[in-house]
Chain A
Amino acid sequence: MYTASDLRKGLKIEIDGAPCVITDFQFVKPGKGQALYRCKIKNLITGATVDKTYRAVEKIDKPNLEQRELIYSYQDGDHYVFMDSTTYEQIQLDADVLGDQRFFLVEDMEVEMLFHNNNPIEVTLPFFVEKEIVETEPGVRGDTATNVMKPAKIDNGYELSVPLFINQGDRIRIDTRTGKYADRISKGF
């Protein structure tokens, strides 16, 4: 159990059995009154956000969370299969748990998976992933200075904006936290 004075931004707690994270936190104490802890709380499964005010005496449940390192293996229809490299246990995730992150998986990628009561609820990918551009308008040679972007697609159909000088067949790095273009990987080695 946590007490109210443990609460802070980023702390993971449990409300009615659901794992949640505190996204905003404010200590308040009205004149001569009791200490109150105002929180914005996000449900880690549904993504829904609620406001909640805790009193100093309140106890808050601690979620049973476990973080594990897994290797991405392969896609099986709507399922994505990961493997624990020490136990060889296989774990299947649906597209909706992964969200857009499913587009950035590559075979043998190491990911961090967060489990709540042994159910996977959150996956953290490496910050950058390499992908090949399979479709875009031909590049404009030498135009590396402007910030003008154009649409492009990677192998699994994910669309993003890339600078004008990027060509079909170029390999780029994508920031998995934002889903946006980061830089081009130089070729010619």
Chain B
Amino acid sequence: MKIAVLDELSRKKEALEVRSACLWAIRDFFHQEGFIEVETPIRLRAPAMELHIDAEPSGDLFLRTSPELHMKQLLAAGFSRIFQMGPCFRVGERGDRHHPEYTMLEWYRTDSDYMDILKDTRRLLLHVAEHLRMNASHHGRFASIPWQKEWWVLTVQETFLRWAGWDPVLAFDADRFDVDLVNCVEPALAEIEVPVVLKDYPAAAAALARLQEGNPAVAERWELYVGGIELANAYSELTDAQEQRARFEECASARAKNGSPAYPIDENFLAALSAMPPSGGIALGVDRLVMVLMGAASIRDVTAFQEG
């Protein structure tokens, strides 16, 4: 008798081998670069507050939606190059590119900004692709992403003017921004052969990013797209505790208005923020990176199991 679950797992053997090689190459890169690997709590009292991200309750605590707030406390304590790779959880995110439990890579460096992080990212992905090319016995099966060619770096403003026909920096409309991003911009980016970076988001979409000095209409934030798939989100980190508190409070009232669950503000994080040096940081979806490397259509193809 055939067991369907085992059949499905054995069909994923190649993807899981590529995934393993990918995890190895990521850790290898950061160790070579003098980063230390850290582990921060998976259960949190106060999840990072975002308007559209909900945390899974876990007893009296929450499962982390990102390790960001704890990692920044380490930066404030004098750690200058840190990375972490592990599970994160987001309620209700389920689709070809989402699963409520997924693997996130985050890294931070002090005395740097979002464009320094872009240099890390390019070197990291070249390192991973090269490791797979040298070691994998799966030649020719990978989607042929030309990582070594020059990446496109576009501002959000020029991107929207070009493909959506309006300027979100001049007059931001959050709802229209999201809809046009998925219906107009992302399909256009999917046609571009090389990796594409969208940078300088409207200030209203800054999240935890610093506003640009001399141009406070935009935040120093970028997102990386490969084959139209969003892979990573990077910031010049906001280090102004007062502004951060104001953004959290504004976010909390917007969440309340939406009927979303309320989260406490992480006071330890805010206290640490004033001691944090200027830093750049990034979150990269590891499952999606494996999807892109394999040319896989769904996150289910590159993860062994999906519960829930």
Contacts and interface: CB of A to CB of B under 8 A. Distances in A.
Interface string A26-50: 1111111111101000000000000
A31 B258 CA distance: 19
Contact of A32 (B97, B175, B205): B205
Given A35-B52, A35-B92, A53-B183, A30 B230 contact: yes
A68 interface: no
Contacts of B53: 32
Contacts of A31: 223, 230, 233
A55 interface: yes
Given A27-B98, A28-B97, A55 B175 contact: yes
A36 B233 contact: no
A92 interface: no
A36 B142 CA distance: 29
Task: Identify whether the interface residues of B are mostly helix, strand, loop, or mixed.
Answer: mixed
Contacts of A26: 95-96
A29 B97 CA distance: 9
Contacts of B175: 34, 55
Given A27-B98, A28-B182, A38-B182, A33 B92 contact: no
B94 interface: yes
Contacts of A35: 52, 92-93
B258 to A, nearest CB: 8
A36 B50 CA distance: 16
Given A32-B52, A32-B207, A27 B95 contact: yes
Contacts, number: 56
B233 A32 contact: yes
A60 B131 CA distance: 48
A38 B230 contact: no
B92 to A, nearest CB: 7
Contacts of B183: 38, 53
Nearest to A36: B182
A5 interface: yes
A26 B51 CA distance: 21
Interface string B139-174: 000000000000000000000000000000000001
Interface string B27-53: 000000000000000000000001111
15 contacts: A5-B92, A26-B96, A27-B98, A28-B182, A28-B186, A29-B93, A30-B182, A32-B207, A33-B174, A33-B178, A33-B205, A36-B179, A36-B182, A38-B182, A53-B179
Interface of B: 50-53, 92-98, 174-175, 177-179, 181-183, 186, 205, 207, 223, 230, 233, 258
Interface of A: 5, 26-36, 38, 53, 55, 57
